[in-house]
Structure 1
Amino acid sequence: MLEWCQDSNEHLPDQRRGEFMRIYDERNVSMMMDLYEMTMANGYYLLENQDTHVAFDVFYRRNPDSAGFAIFTGLEQIVEYLEGLHFDPEDIDYLRSLGQFDESFLSYLADFCFSGDLYAFPEGTIMYPNEPVITVVAPLVEAQLIETELLTQINHQSLIATKARRIVRSAEGRPVSDFGARRAHNNDAAIYGARAAYIGGVAATATVSSGQHFGIPVSGTMAHSWVMFYKNELESFRKFASIYPDNCILLVDTYDVLHQGLPNAIQVFTEMRDRGIASKNYGIRIDSGDLAYLTARSRKMLDEAGFTDAKIIISNSLDEYTIRSILDQGGQVDAFGVGERLITSRSEPVFGAVYKLCAVEEDGQMIPRIKLSETPEKITNPGLKDVYRIYDADGHAVADLITRQGEELDLSSRYDFVDPIKPWKRRAFENCTAKKLQVKIIEAGKRTSQLPSAKEIASYVDRQLREEIWDTEQRFENPHIHYLDMSPAYYEMKMDMLETNR
């Protein structure tokens, strides 16, 4: 953890961190949808049996930045949304004004609530393309109306969490703080982006509301305006040190790092030492210039002055590539503040999760549905299904496996499976174990258990990447592709559907 942060967990009430912060108590986002969701819902209401259940899968097709994995994030906000889903009188009035919806449907919306089931990976699970990270099983109209909000939460937070992990990995153990709020696309992007970045591995955020709501450690000291306000830089440093002796990080690049800012900082540190002030946390931050060169020179000057424990923190348009370059060039850095390229995932700002129908209730049975396409990658995996993570004898995740829902999976002996990319090859798991990934989060509209805090989710992410996920999947260039296999029964069912619908 960054020592130059304030850990906001200690200021929260005793209940689960973050749970008390329910954003939908103060604003209703039920109208956060595409119009086609409402037009289809109106049609289904008028034409179909309202008790008919359907199933939709949420999945994505490609990892951002050509990475080897992504991090599933945003589940807590989805649960809060579904629990609070309703339409206010002004919402009904607006829909009526569009002139597209039957009055009986609008009356139905006035008493609307979500009564379905939600199955999902635990938040923070390492995920891969084309596997259902969420499955919604609900009455037809309910399942249709929630599409956009589910995708909004997953696409944004999963993108930022995944980007954050790449940046943290490039820092090679040095702490990273999120500095991105002012460059985020709006307030929600800043607040939930900070949550996602923390889950992805950053140590702290500069966004105070995220610290308050989610128990994330907060960090920050001064801006250039503090230095510019005073008549000279030395005076500004002295005043700051007098107020914050135990968190004395001085911004030294307002005028000239090596010839003015750093010498002034060294003078202030010397004065503090001479007065017997042993700062718990002190150092400099550099926000511009040749950061590899400036940090190396600064480290040398600080050490020669006897301040070997003074920290050097850098910011300024950093990402995983610039951080790696700075360190490769001999940059001497203790911590990083990363802003716009993290909070916007500038290198790849679209995640691409989709919401696709996979089953429809007929005569009490959930019958699979499949979407075909001229683009093979867009053919969906039909039906209700189970997803397992397969582990070798050393506990490494070697593959994920899709089976038909409820299908028995026995790995006590050799288990033959199908590689859907190369189905002609004989494949088998031996000496392996399995863990089912989807769990029921909401049943009949109510959550089944307490959700973990952001801190607990971040620890879960870290444990998976340290203990389960191959290092070859975590490299930046040409990562190993995680296998998504199918049981023979599931593969045969999909092939039969393709043949039937051909």
Structure 2
Amino acid sequence: MSDVTTTDLYEVTMALSYLREDMRAPATFSLFVRDLPPGRGFLVAAGLEPALDFLAGYRVERPDVEEFADALRRPVRGLEPLLGLAFEGEVRAVPEGHAVFAGEPLLEVTAPLPQAQLAETYLLNQVCHQTAVASKAARCVLAAAGRPVVDFSLRRTHGPWAGLQAARLGALAGFAGTSNVAAATALGIPASGTMAHSYVEAFPGEEEAFRAFARCHPGPVTFLVDTYDTVAGVEVAARVLRDLARGPGCAVRLDSGDLDALARRARAVLDAAGLTDVRIVASGGLDEYGVDRLVRAGAPIDVYAVGTRIGVAADAPYLDAAYKLVEYDGRPMMKLSSAKVTAPGRKQVFRRAGQPDVVALWQEEPPDSARPLLRTVMRGGRRTGAPDHWRDARERLRADLAALPAAARRIDAPEPVRPVVSPALRELTARVRAGLEARFLRESADADTGAPASPPTGRG
């Protein structure tokens, strides 16, 4: 299946109509989140890199046209105006890793109208899913308060590709490693893993299992200690680790039960055995809420492994995001639907130290000491620079999180940061709205009198 045909059908029907009507003037679409999900004080911009890969390689080939025709149950020749269509436009976007907020464009696409329209579904798919997962992963890092967090999500994500994305996004957010071997090798992320309960069950007892595992794997080892009785399992692990004298880096993993109480008992057993440098790893249905409770309680846990709830962003698995036309052929456009009003015109977001962001028109001068967030990352259908690396995004996120108000970083009941709108954007919005409303009044009056409707100008 081609990425070109990974789209909603109405993108194809609209693009085909635009081509037949010769509507090929430049159009700008803005991708933004209307409202933050409940329980979020910020989002982490993510998904831009695969989106740019998609646009850079976009070209409608004969097999794509045949698939479109089959879906529409029409002859192939009726879809041939789409043949050879490629993306030749510009993209301005917030680089991955920046903290972003509701109402701010994450990216804007400017291209001939059919091209910009066909990009919608894939861009929303990539940016929405990855921003949701990256945002939850970042909250896990905040909750861990400096303790390492590891990605264990692959077996619960919605497919292998989503698992690869989750591992990358965890690394971007500051995770210390991943259990996903493919992601570790492809992306340069440290691989991390221990053993399953089935491994322990396969041996006559825990001691035989732990010693066999250690014989197979030289260096530091981590033993899963809660297959039967957790405290007894820790005592067995302590005896084996003391006999092996493997040195620092070894650990025991707790995967069930009251992790706070069990971690305290495990720490006492290990310390009594002289194994003060053996770490405790906790896993089992954890996300930022569970991690935060354990950290606040002072549980002696050294590493947190998170999986199921992170890879699917369980408490906020989707974003109220939109990809809306804001300018066509030089004319600012806006939508007036109830609760879905959009602001017209191409935009920029200015970030100010210690103050809310400013959403402005793209050619406005920045406020004092502010810096623009949206950068031109594609021009003429080509990237303007080398692909970004997740390590670069991680550094951006680290800086942005440090600058966020404490209330936005809170795990429970965070207070979202709300950007402000520049006077110039407010004025343009009011002018375009007034023009549209006046046009509707004229058309309504013409309909009442039976007079021909006035031709629309599309201008505010």
Matched, 1:28 2:21: no
Please name the residue that 1:437 is paired with.
Answer: 373
Q: Aligned match of 2:398 in 444, 457, 462?
A: 462
Flag structure 1 segments of 5+ consecutive residues without an equivalent.
1-26, 412-432
Deviation, structure 1 residue 269: 0.9
Quick one: structure 1 residues 114 and 105, their matched pair in 2 at CA, closer, same or farther if it must change by over 3 Å? farther
User: Is the CA contact 1:72–1:125 (under 8 Å) kept in the aligned structure 2?
Assistant: yes
Report the equivalent of 1:342: 310
> What count of residue pairs does the alignment treat as equivalent?
437
Instruction: State the alpha-carbon separation in 2 of the partners of residues 305 and 410 from structure 1.
Output: 61
CA 1:324 to 1:114, structure 2 compared with 1: closer, same or farther past 3 Å?
same
Relative to the length of structure 2, the TM-score reads 0.91
**Counterpart position of 1:239:** 212
Q: Is the partner of 1:218 in helix, strand or coil?
A: coil
Work out which of the residue numbers 43, 46, 56 in structure 2 matches 1:83.
56
Bigger drift between 476-485 and 284-293 goes to 476-485
* Shift in Å, 1:64: 2.6
TM-score, with length taken from structure 1:
0.84
Question: Paired residue for 1:492, among 427, 430, 442?
Answer: 427
Select which of 368, 381, 388 maps to 2:332: 368
Counterpart of 2:319 in structure 1 is 351
Q: State whether residues 179 and 193 of structure 2, in contact with CA within 8 Å, keep that contact through their aligned partners in structure 1.
A: yes
Q: Which runs of 5+ in 2 are unaligned?
A: 438-460
Aligned ranges 1:107-122 → 2 under 5 Å: 107-122=80-95
Mark the CA change 1:230 to 1:88 in structure 2 (over 3 Å): closer, same or farther. Answer: farther
> CA deviation digits over 1:463-493, x for unaligned, max 9?
2212x22222211344344232222222111
Is 1:39 matched up with 2:3? no
Q: What CA distance in whole angstroms lies between the structure 1 residues aligned with 2:78 and 2:248?
A: 63
Paired residue secondary structure (2:239): helix
Where does 1:372-451 land on structure 2 (aligned, <5 Å)? Answer: 372-375=336-339, 378-391=340-353, 396=354, 398-409=355-366, 411=368, 433-451=369-387
Q: Is the 8 A contact 1:178 1:194 kept in 2?
A: yes
Q: Which stretch has the larger CA shift, 80-89 or 94-103?
A: 94-103
Q: In 1, distance between residues paired with 2:229 and 2:210? A: 14
In the TM superposition, what is the alpha-carbon distance from 1:105 to its structure 2 partner? 6.0
Q: Is the 8 A contact 1:42 1:105 kept in 2?
A: no
Partner AA of 2:309 in structure 1? R
SS at match of 2:105: coil
Change in CA separation of 1:206 and 1:410 when aligned onto 2, cut-off 3 Å: closer
Of stretches 174-183 and 81-90 in structure 1, the one that deviates more from structure 2 is: 81-90
9, 20, 23: which is aligned to 1:49? Answer: 23
Task: Note the C-alpha offset of 1:166.
Answer: 1.1
Matched, 1:262 2:272: no
Distance 1:103 1:222 in 2: 54
Aligned equivalents of 1:137, 1:181: Cα separation in 2: 36
Hey, what's the Cα distance between the residues in 1 that align with 2:294 and 2:414?
23
| 1:227 matched to 2:200 | yes
Distance 1:101 1:438 in 2: 41
Identity of aligned residues (%): 34
